[in-house]
Structures are given as structure tokens and as C-alpha cells.
Amino acid sequence: MNSNRAVKRIGLLTSGGDAPGMNAAIRAVVRACMYYKIEAVGIYRGYDGLIANDMKTLDSRSVASIIHRGGTILKSARSMEFKTPEGRIKAAENCRMAGIDALVIIGGDGTFRGGLVFQQEHGIPVVGLPGTIDNDLNGTDFTIGYDTAVNTAAHAIDKIRDTASSHNRLFFIEVMGRDSGQIAMRASIAAGAEATMIPERPMNVDELIHILEKGAGRKKSSSLVVVAEGGKPGHSIDLAKEVTDRFEYYDTKVTILGHLLRGGSPTVSDRVLASRLGVVAVEYLLKGISGGMIGIVNNRINFTPFAEATGNVSNFDDEMLRIASILSV
Ligand code: ADP
């Protein structure tokens, strides 16, 4: 959407699942506002805070020393009330009372769906930044938080490899990734796992056992299987049980990394990504462009309307699966 109304006060919030690098994005948005001599208002607890009028003006010093910190200083939330028209009316009234004439929302697909309907209903320009560890949005090569989550997963898997090979064990390591195997796939290649189970390319137990048997035939001292949570946290426990019943070569263990992947200091890649996107988000609003997500594709800034960013996500790269299977022999 293009709008010619001058933007003087930008509200910003983090929403949905938190991701490392959200703080770097907050800092970039606030500092870009200072640079362009407009005001920045931090809204706490995502859309819930917008409805409850929980906000505070931010300046350069409010965001000092946060670029390296995980989590989000603005807190995050999932808001049921914002899904109702009445909740969004309250949110729009609070924006008007606070003089907020545009919003930067940092979150995932749910956050963008909310931003889209809010802009359509109330005419307040909204720009989104991809803040999710899942890397499951169209219109950006990487989302803020993904690189950190993958690094955390790979380092954890390295540690598990040490103990697994000391005991001739088969480990199932479950990583987050709602409907998305991207964290699992990349961490699996980085840590040299034997197999990867992802929702995009389902593998049945027979196929998995076949891979493990081949490894056992080559006298591998351990085997690591990285399993994407895929919307069913804990399902690797059942999977491990099924495999143990049919394949006795290894002693089998399960480690669920869970929320560990959301924490920690963001990597350099995530900090730089968040910094670039935060500045450009403010510049787009000042140019009168809104209604979509700012991402980076092939190292270039890319604007994607919200409906497209959250639509059928088709960014799974089969090349990764091919590389993983060649290297796991
Ligand atoms: P994420 O942004 O990480 O995908 P969620 O899916 O929980 O996280 O979405 C964050 C919030 O966005 C929700 O709690 C809700 O307040 C809002 N939201 C999600 N979908 C919609 C929708 N269709 N309409 C309005 N608000 C929505």
C-alpha cells in the first residue's frame, strides 16, 4: 500500500514466538527513527499490549547494549483478543490516542496476518520484519533468529555426538520447527548427522532403519538422527521406541532441544540482518510504503505483501537433503 500521510511517530512491537535477534531489530528501528527525527514508541507484549495501552516512548539510550542479547526487551505474547474485530478497534483507538501513525511489527506469519487485517480495517500503515527461528516465510532468504537457532542446535548435536560415540548409541535429537524442517536440515548437515526427519519430505520408519542398518554395516560407533518437531513436540520419543523394537544394534536415547533454540546471544548474521531490516522498515514507512514484510533475497532488500509472505511457503531446498544424504555415508 502507498500512503502520502507523513509519519511522525512509529509504534513497534514483537509478537508470537520470540527469536534471538529481535532486540537487534528493535534497536535498529528505534535508532533509525532517531536518525530521521521521528518518535519511536515501544509497545509491550505484542498485540496484547497494544490493546491494553502498555507502551512507552523509546530513545537511543533505551536500546543501548541490547544488540547482543537474546529474547526481546519489549516482551512477546500471543493475543486472542487481537483476533477479534473488537480487540483491534481498541488497539486502533490506543494508536490514535498515542499519536502512533504507523507500526513496525516483528514476528512470524501469525503476526503478519494480524498486521494485514489491522491495516485493512483501520488504515494504519504496517510494515513487518521476519522474526522467527523457523525460517518459514516467503520473501526472505533468512528470518531473524534462524541462524542463531541453527548454531545452537549444531553445537548441541556436537556434544551429543561425543557421548553417543563413547557408548555406541543411537540418538534422536528433536529440534523446533513448526511445520518446518529448515532448522533440522541445516543443523543436521552442520553437525554431520546420519539422518534427518522433516515434515516437508516425510520418511517412514522402514526407510530410516534401512539408513541405520547401512551405517551399522560400516561399523559406525554412533548414529544421530535429527528430527523436526513439525507441530508435534515430543514425537521423537515414539519414533525412537518404534526403531528400538526393530533394530537392536545400538542403545537408543532421545534428546529434545525444545526452547533451548530460542535463547542465547544472536549470531553476527542475525544481528546484521536485523540491523539492516530495522533501518529499512522505517525508511519504507517514511516513503509511504506499507502492508508487507521487508526481507533480504540474494543480499538485496525485498518487499513482500503480507498475504504473499505468509501464503504457501515453498522455500524448502531439496539440494540440502541431497547433500545430507551424500555426506552421511
Ligand atoms: P507468529 O507470529 O510467531 O507466527 P502467532 O501465530 O502466535 O505467532 O501469531 C501472533 C499473534 O498474531 C497472535 O497471537 C494473534 O494475536 C495475531 N494473529 C494471528 N493470526 C491472526 C489473524 N488471522 N487475525 C488477527 N490477528 C492474528
**What is the domain-level CATH number for residue 176?**
3.40.50.460
Task: Tell whether 180 and 288 lie within a shared domain.
Answer: no
**Which of 263, 290, 320 represents a domain boundary (last residue)?**
263
Q: Is the pLDDT of residue 3 over 80?
A: no
Per-residue confidence (pLDDT) for residue 167, from 0 to 100: 87
Amino acid at 201: R
Task: Tell whether 139 and 271 lie within a shared domain.
Answer: yes
φ, ψ for residue 147, nearest 5 deg: -60, -40
Ligand 1, atom 12, lies closest to the CA of 111
Q: Is the pLDDT of residue 220 over 90?
A: no
Task: Tell whether 27 and 64 lie within a shared domain.
Answer: yes
Task: Tell whether 178 and 120 lie within a shared domain.
Answer: no
Task: Tell whether 28 and 139 lie within a shared domain.
Answer: yes
Q: Which element (helix H / strand E) includes 175?
A: strand 169-175
Q: Is the pLDDT of residue 314 over 80?
A: no
In a domain, 3, yes or no: no
How many domains is the chain partitioned into structurally?
A: 2
Task: Tell whether 209 and 275 lie within a shared domain.
Answer: no
Task: Tell whether 13 and 88 lie within a shared domain.
Answer: yes
Ligand 1 pocket test, pick from 15, 80, 293 with the greatest ligand atom count within 8 Å of Cβ, gives 15
φ, ψ for residue 101, nearest 5 deg: -110, 5
Task: Tell whether 119 and 221 lie within a shared domain.
Answer: no
Per-residue confidence (pLDDT) for residue 65, from 0 to 100: 98
Give the lowest-confidence range in 81-90, 131-140, 200-209, 307-316. Answer: 307-316
Ligand 1, atom 22, lies closest to the CA of 114
Q: How far is the CA of 16 from the centre of ligand 1 (A)?
A: 6
Query: Which tens digit of pLDDT belongs to each residue from 242-253?
Result: 999 888 888 899
* Percent of the chain topping pLDDT 70: 99
47 Cα nearest atom in ligand 1 = 16
Per-residue confidence (pLDDT) for residue 292, from 0 to 100: 98
Across 288-294, average pLDDT: 98
Going 77 to 83 to 89 to 95, the CA torsion angle's sign is positive
CB contact at 8 A, 109 and 136: yes
Closest to 15 (Cα-Cα) out of 48, 56, 53: 48
Q: Is the pLDDT of residue 166 over 80?
A: yes
Task: Tell whether 13 and 140 lie within a shared domain.
Answer: yes
Q: How far is the CA of 110 from the centre of ligand 1 (A)?
A: 3
> DSSP assignment, residue 10?
E
147 has catalytic annotation? no
Ligand 1 pocket test, pick from 78, 146, 179 with the greatest ligand atom count within 8 Å of Cβ, gives 78
Beta bridge partners of 292: 127, 305
CA dihedral 85→88→89→95, nearest 10 degrees, is: -170
User: Domain limits at 237?
Assistant: 147-263
In a domain, 316, yes or no: no
Other beta carbons within 10 angstroms of residue 268's beta carbon come to 9
**What is the domain-level CATH number for residue 286?**
3.40.50.450
Per-residue confidence (pLDDT) for residue 4, from 0 to 100: 55
**231 or 24, which is more confident:** 24
Query: Which tens digit of pLDDT belongs to each residue from 51-67?
Result: 999 999 999 999 999 99
Cα(309)–Cα(34) distance, rounded to whole angstroms? 28
Q: Is the pLDDT of residue 108 over 90?
A: yes
Per the rule left: phi > 0, alpha: psi between -120 and 50, beta: everything else, 105 is: beta
Task: Tell whether 131 and 154 lie within a shared domain.
Answer: no
Q: Which residues line ligand 1 (CB under 6 A)?
A: 15-17, 47, 78-79, 82-83, 107-111, 113-114, 117, 132
Ligand 1 pocket test, pick from 86, 113, 146, 262 with the greatest ligand atom count within 8 Å of Cβ, gives 113
109 Cα nearest atom in ligand 1 = 4
Quickly list DSSP for 67-127: TT-SS-TT-----SGGGSHHHHHHHHHHHHHHT--EEEEEE-HHHHHHHHHHHHHH---EE
Across 171-178, average pLDDT: 93
Give the lowest-confidence range in 123-132, 194-203, 245-254, 310-319. Answer: 310-319
In a domain, 314, yes or no: no
Cα(169)–Cα(43) distance, rounded to whole angstroms? 48
Q: How far is the CA of 80 from the centre of ligand 1 (A)?
A: 8
Q: How far is the CA of 303 from the centre of ligand 1 (A)?
A: 20
Q: Is the pLDDT of residue 1 over 70?
A: no
User: 18, 134, 147, 270: which one is catalytic?
Assistant: 134
Cα(280)–Cα(48) distance, rounded to whole angstroms? 26
Task: Tell whether 48 and 127 lie within a shared domain.
Answer: yes
Q: Which element (helix H / strand E) includes 128?
A: strand 126-130
Ligand 1, atom 16, lies closest to the CA of 79
Ligand 1, atom 7, lies closest to the CA of 16
Q: How far is the CA of 220 from the centre of ligand 1 (A)?
A: 45
**Which spans in the chain are helix H?**
22-35, 46-52, 85-98, 109-122, 146-167, 182-191, 205-217, 235-246, 268-287, 306-310, 318-327
Other beta carbons within 10 angstroms of residue 269's beta carbon come to 16
Q: What is the mean pLDDT of the chain?
A: 94
CB contact at 8 A, 266 and 21: yes
Distance of CA 72 to the CA centre of its chain: 13
Query: Which tens digit of pLDDT belongs to each residue from 4-53?
Result: 579 999 999 999 999 999 999 999 999 999 999 999 999 999 999 999 99
Q: How far is the CA of 101 from the centre of ligand 1 (A)?
A: 21
